[in-house]
Structure 1
């Protein structure tokens, strides 16, 4: 190890050595915390300073040789000439003892050997870790030290800071002598850490690592050196990409354990107790677990802080604590955690602290353990520490001693797992359902079990358990039970016939529930469009019920009205119920974005919803985001992505739910897009059959007839398609502009060309009012095609322009590509460059681009002049040049590529609302 920040100490030792050479001997005690560099200082002094000027006799004491008589003295004599070694050996062979002490005669003879050696040449005697020296050698050294004042002997003793010792410390006896000097070595400062790292690493790297290395090691040189080695090892593994920060790895952990085994045993016990207790434990707890007194334990904590292992009573780095725990061994570690749990429980400690030790111990047999674990799990769940809560509950479940406790523990465990990943509760459903049937669970846990069953597609079990609970539940609990029944009816409409027609009750003194409100709207008891239905909903409703209620609206238009009032509730509940639940608000937002025709947002929200929560955790609700992804993929022309979404497995009970209806509808639209009209028609007709089975094929149900008619039109079965569409028109409510627009659009396709424009004009107006931008783009495209089919090119081209612009803003790429040939006045066989205007666009100046862009959008010359702050004459001149360069006759023939240019020019403001906004 390189020596840094030790120049003053070397200077002092050098001065004392000069005095020694002049006949003034001395004793130097070098002391400090463990691994602070005492050994390195002695070696540097003997090699760099003393050199050939003295004979150097060295020895290092060790706990392993502490009980070997004269073991340390033998090491020193190995460096002496044979004559002196033989004399010392003869003196020691006749050693006599009085009351455990060596006779003065023997001590005198041994000292005389060293003094005679110094007469021949000066001696530097270095003893490292003298606190571990055997008693006999220590007596000889102390006897010699008292006779060094007028000799050429310099005795340097390395001594470690301690709070106590079995044998008297050398410095206790020697410090009273005037020729005895003490040198205390302190840990390195931050600059010293940087200098030490710079000897091993690049200077820039060393500078960047100095501050964090100092924080982790407290300046302990041995630990700093370990960090440098860890960084080098990581750099070798990483190759060219060197670590960006400090690496605290195996070498650091090994050196921490090494340091602890070099200090006194009681300090090691304190270090282990601190590691077991974790955090910053009170001194009393450390003392209790280590078996020491409070004062002694506090002193040893201070010793460990000086050594750079602890800081303010806790480990500087978690790697150090983990290393100490590993060093204990599994059996001892478990035993200490059990003792810690007993100790904290006896002292009335916090349940969470006790639970940490119970979980670490494994299988506690204490009768109070189960209650402590459940209480800790409840607190951890409320704080969002779900993993720890699960550990507590799993352990509590294993030690439950009767069926009631086991059922309760399983229910609490399922609740915690439900919050982090709903798929985990599936393994508990059989036992929990049995517990509900046997009345082993509290009302709240029984209701939660029913919701799990509904969520994961097990309505038969849920209905059976619901019937049994209904027969025995009264009072306030009955209202909650009716809410769960409402969830059953919403998610599994086929169960409504047997569930009765009574909507869930709303407490008289509280706001309405979302589930009850949705069920009344679905049944048709109240108009879904009334905003009063959604205002003032009960905000504390469970997230599962909010999600089931909101996403079970089988008719997407219902969500348009409900979303502004319900999405904030969904967000709040998601934040409270667990880290994995944000997928549910995203799924609802995806539905809302799809209804607006915002395809990028819908795809982003739906994909995010499925990414944030595992597919099995969605249960039957997976149909909602999956249908949204399918629809957006089809509308944007990404058919391979749509096929990949269809390949995903879905729950078997999905088609019993409204989520399955939307999935079938989206699948049918995909089949139609890839020219499989028979398969598409089958999916749409299945939707209709399901709605009839549910008695829900009413005016506000899913408009499956529109989709089926589209498939029939593709099969050239116009009469059947027209009949379905007329049936849809007869059942439509007056306020359903979206369904009206879609119906009129497809009805027009079943008529003769000259009959289509009138219906399509009405369809465009209805869809504009509904705000569905994608459907509006399709209707405009059909209108333009209808005008073109009747030979009315003057009206066809503006309609197609509006359709292209709407489709482009919505990123409906398939429709955009299909419109380009007609807008460019070319055939689909032309290359893309021709469709966009070709190279002729490069001939336009910037001013001509701006004028042409505004003209292509339908602005008059005067409007263009006002927006660009130029004269009408200038506009006319620019347009003349645009027509000439692009080889068109008038503004209706301008290529469609010009319409987007003003979007990229911040200097031209948009005038009026966009069709797609």
Structure 2
């Protein structure tokens, strides 16, 4: 056995034993809280100190044998000689026939047996947990204690630190005797915990765990040993690193329960009441719940504090509290929680405290329970405790006793779950749609149901539900439904034909009077070009917290990314505001819109990073049909940066079945088609692009402001050498194209040039470059420049080809369009460069080595297109010095002017990192922030 910090107690016992051997009997009581090591000390003393010097008779009290007459004495006499055992059995059997207390003859007879035994050899009577002993045995022991002063008997008992035992007379009587010694045991100190751990673990682990183990156990040796066993078990797990802190596992919880069942019944009830009440229990509530008096409850809580189970009246570790609750058994635990809830409600306790008890019980039939749960859910939602709010609403829903209450409680539950994860609402959709159709919901709840249905692709249910609500709606409610209808048409354009309308008519622009419906309808009409509305006007009206407005803006932004220049000034601030204080769906909408904005300006790394973050904001299943938007952005960035394996991984992700009924599905199809083109599958790409066109025609939504599928299809047709078909599609695209759509114009002109002969292409491509520059799309601009440079090179115009291709390569590098940049490098090197082993272009022979560092810096800036004055300002030298360096560069490289400078100069300067002033020419723009 392992004893720590018990040396003093062992020495005191040894001294008393020495006196006993010389005829001075004694009574010794080991006192201390439960499981503090009394049993270990008692047994260690008996086996290691006294066993070879005295005869040991041992017994242990047990709650099971508490009512067994002479049960403890029977245990003791099992270790006696048979003659004494038979003699004692005869005496005790006579006592069993007497009624009431044990008769004096029996008391005298039992005492005489022990005294006679001690006359032959010294006697150590060891009794563990004496407070569980039966009353008959205790009376006999007391009678013996009064007569052993001049005997060779040492009576060694272990008892708990407690005044209110079942037999208080026994303790009081013992304490009167001058030869009765009390030895108190306290829990281990932190150093003691470290020493005890060191018996089972290595010294380093014991030292590192000691402080935390002391905090968990309060120095209780039984629990400390359990932590050591749990830690060792975790280290034996294959492939796992040793834990850095205590492991609170099965052994610990088993020992906690073991401690419980060593307690007296009242102490056990108090320990259970503390576990039921939970954090910061109030003593008066614990007393009422346990049925123990208030004074006695305080004493028992102190006892549990001393034992290490509690600290300041609460369990030191949640695992200990859970173990106590499990030990109840389910029926008893439920009953205790319900009783705690009733007590709290009766005294006017906080609704959240009552709700915690009801949720722990999992059931209730009290009429006040649903109202308390709903009130707690509102409070928890306001304080951000969404999971607790959901638990309250789940139980309140299960307690509803009619269809109306069940429908309303389900709607409230769904609304709260929507804040956490939109995917969780799916389980409620059928019931909520049915409740809406039956008119069981009230207020804005039907509109929220429509929002859920739209989000998750339940378009037929949404449309049918909308029709039913609209049939009876009047006044402001009818106007509100107009906004929902606008969202429905935006997400699912095929519904226009079913509803017999071409587009949503804008509502009057009266922010205060028209409300959300007016704002949403006007915003939609403005983006589609039906009306002209100023951004300031829209922003003033859209500054609202209504969810319908925010989701409309999100749908608007993701469905029409090409129109972000129109939407962003008033859409992104609203989404940012929603993302700051609402659930993951708003953060996801805002983040995905930012990703689209970055993609449209050609910032591929930022677009990819933000789109990935958007999907990480919430699970992909929670995105519903909107998942097509961030997935399309990720696909496009992966293709343009040449990461085809990543793109294939994105394509393998599951998508909702209703995706292709939405504009988000068209975006996904277009991105997939671009992937097929990039990996050499033009027929698959053409199929995807034509599917986009077919769907738009079916939706009667194939206007010039819609998805430009004809440009993509023309690109695939050019790859298949079907240029006439491509030209027809591009001419259709250009008819009626809005004047402000520079991006679509530039893309169309670029592909139209590809259908012409090489010498006919430069004028169109120059127009395309100009349009894409105005649009600010750096990726498309790089492609247009590359096509223009290639057209010049094909016609033999090397004077224009080199700087144009160089400019295209720089644009591709700036936005990390690696696919295009790799294709441009060999052509840029031309006849004046060769491909080195590292993949970087190098000069033939030793021409590069002839340039000094200063000449290389000046030549690099000149190759980028900087003027002599700009070079002088950047390098802090004079214009004359720049001219001198350039003269030497031209001579050494054997070129006539700066347009003939090879592009590898700027590449080497950027890659070497020598001149930070040149690096910003190739740096990415800062991450987008609205």
Q: What's the CA shift string for 1:130-159, capped at 9, x where partnerless?
A: 112222322222222223334443322111
Q: CA deviation at 1:226?
A: 0.7
Matched, 1:665 2:665: no
Q: Which residue of 1 aligns with 2:161?
A: 161
Q: Which residue of 1 aligns with 2:913?
A: 905
Instruction: For residue 68 of structure 1, give the secondary structure of its aligned residue in structure 2.
Output: coil
Matched, 1:474 2:494: no
Q: Which residue of 2 aligns with 1:560?
A: 565
Q: Which residue of 2 aligns with 1:520?
A: 525
Matched, 1:58 2:58: yes
Q: Which residue of 2 aligns with 1:734?
A: 739
Gaps of 5+ in 1: none
Q: Which residue of 1 aligns with 2:928?
A: none
Q: CA deviation at 1:214?
A: 1.3
Q: CA deviation at 1:899?
A: 1.9
Q: Which residue of 2 aligns with 1:509?
A: 512
Matched, 1:706 2:711: yes
Q: What's the CA shift string for 1:43-68, capped at 9, x where partnerless?
A: 23334444534443332222233333
Query: In structure 1, what is the Cα distance between the partners aligned to 2:296 and 2:844?
Result: 89
Q: CA deviation at 1:221?
A: 0.8
Matched, 1:245 2:248: no
Q: What's the CA shift string for 1:101-157, capped at 9, x where partnerless?
A: 334444344434444544554433322111122223222222222233344433221
Kindly report which structure 2 residues correspond to 1:812-831, keeping only aligned pairs within 5 A, or say none. 812-825=817-830
Q: Which residue of 2 aligns with 1:344?
A: 344
Stretch of structure 1 that moved more, 509-518 or 791-800: 509-518
Stretch of structure 1 that moved more, 700-709 or 268-277: 700-709
Question: For residues 90 and 331 of structure 1, do their structure 2 counterparts lie closer, same or farther at Cα, with a shift above 3 Å needed?
Answer: closer
Q: Which residue of 2 aligns with 1:20?
A: 20
Q: Which residue of 2 aligns with 1:777?
A: 782
Kindly report which structure 2 residues correspond to 1:198-213, keeping only aligned pairs within 5 A, or say none. 198-213=198-213
8 Å contact kept, 1:709–1:722:
yes
Instruction: For residue 30 of structure 2, give the secondary structure of its aligned residue in structure 1.
Output: strand
Question: For residues 363 and 150 of structure 1, do their structure 2 counterparts lie closer, same or farther at Cα, with a shift above 3 Å needed?
Answer: closer
Q: Which residue of 2 aligns with 1:896?
A: 904
Query: In structure 1, what is the Cα distance between the partners aligned to 2:389 and 2:557?
Result: 31
Query: In structure 1, what is the Cα distance between the partners aligned to 2:852 and 2:51?
Result: 87
8 Å contact kept, 1:620–1:653:
yes
Q: What's the CA shift string for 1:613-638, capped at 9, x where partnerless?
A: 33333222222122212222222233
Query: In structure 2, what is the Cα distance between the partners aligned to 1:429 and 1:375?
Result: 24
**Which TM-score applies when normalising by structure 1?**
0.90
Query: In structure 2, what is the Cα distance between the partners aligned to 1:49 and 1:845?
Result: 93
Stretch of structure 1 that moved more, 220-229 or 96-105: 96-105
* Count of equivalent residues: 917
Question: For residues 42 and 853 of structure 1, do their structure 2 counterparts lie closer, same or farther at Cα, with a shift above 3 Å needed?
Answer: farther
8 Å contact kept, 2:575–2:586:
no
Kindly report which structure 2 residues correspond to 1:755-770, keeping only aligned pairs within 5 A, or say none. 755-770=760-775
Question: For residues 124 and 544 of structure 1, do their structure 2 counterparts lie closer, same or farther at Cα, with a shift above 3 Å needed?
Answer: farther
8 Å contact kept, 1:570–1:585:
yes
Kindly report which structure 2 residues correspond to 1:807-886, keeping only aligned pairs within 5 A, or say none. 807-825=812-830, 833=838, 836-837=841-842, 850=857, 853-854=860-861, 856-859=863-866, 867-868=874-875
Question: For residues 532 and 749 of structure 1, do their structure 2 counterparts lie closer, same or farther at Cα, with a shift above 3 Å needed?
Answer: farther
Q: CA deviation at 1:874?
A: 8.8
Query: In structure 1, what is the Cα distance between the partners aligned to 2:148 and 2:9?
Result: 21
Q: Which residue of 2 aligns with 1:139?
A: 139
Gaps of 5+ in 2: 926-930
Q: CA deviation at 1:775?
A: 0.8
Q: CA deviation at 1:900?
A: 5.5
Query: In structure 2, what is the Cα distance between the partners aligned to 1:643 and 1:756?
Result: 34
Query: In structure 2, what is the Cα distance between the partners aligned to 1:171 and 1:378?
Result: 55
Q: What's the CA shift string for 1:796-837, capped at 9, x where partnerless?
A: 222222222221232222111111110222799978646533
Question: For residues 679 and 4 of structure 1, do their structure 2 counterparts lie closer, same or farther at Cα, with a shift above 3 Å needed?
Answer: closer
**Which TM-score applies when normalising by structure 2?**
0.89
Query: In structure 2, what is the Cα distance between the partners aligned to 1:886 and 1:834?
Result: 21
Stretch of structure 1 that moved more, 199-208 or 150-159: 150-159
Query: In structure 2, what is the Cα distance between the partners aligned to 1:421 and 1:783?
Result: 49
8 Å contact kept, 1:491–1:552:
no
Query: In structure 2, what is the Cα distance between the partners aligned to 1:775 and 1:135?
Result: 96
Q: CA deviation at 1:858?
A: 4.1
Instruction: For residue 701 of structure 1, give the secondary structure of its aligned residue in structure 2.
Output: coil
Query: In structure 2, what is the Cα distance between the partners aligned to 1:75 and 1:693?
Result: 93
Query: In structure 1, what is the Cα distance between the partners aligned to 2:891 and 2:51?
Result: 98
Query: In structure 2, what is the Cα distance between the partners aligned to 1:234 and 1:135?
Result: 46
Q: Which residue of 2 aligns with 1:193?
A: 193
8 Å contact kept, 1:124–1:155:
yes
Instruction: For residue 57 of structure 2, give the secondary structure of its aligned residue in structure 1.
Output: strand
8 Å contact kept, 1:797–1:823:
yes
Q: CA deviation at 1:376?
A: 3.5
Q: Which residue of 1 aligns with 2:636?
A: 631
Query: In structure 2, what is the Cα distance between the partners aligned to 1:95 and 1:684?
Result: 103
Kindly report which structure 2 residues correspond to 1:314-325, keeping only aligned pairs within 5 A, or say none. 314-325=314-325
Q: What's the CA shift string for 1:263-306, capped at 9, x where partnerless?
A: 10111122222323332332333233323333333332222222
Q: What's the CA shift string for 1:75-120, capped at 9, x where partnerless?
A: 3344445565566556556559887333444434443444454455
Q: CA deviation at 1:202?
A: 1.2
Q: Tell me which of 500, 505, 508 is aligned to 1:498.
A: 500
Question: For residues 47 and 592 of structure 1, do their structure 2 counterparts lie closer, same or farther at Cα, with a shift above 3 Å needed?
Answer: same
Q: CA deviation at 1:194?
A: 1.2
Q: CA RMSD in A?
A: 3.7
8 Å contact kept, 2:389–2:416:
yes
Q: CA deviation at 1:747?
A: 3.1
Q: Which residue of 1 aligns with 2:403?
A: 403
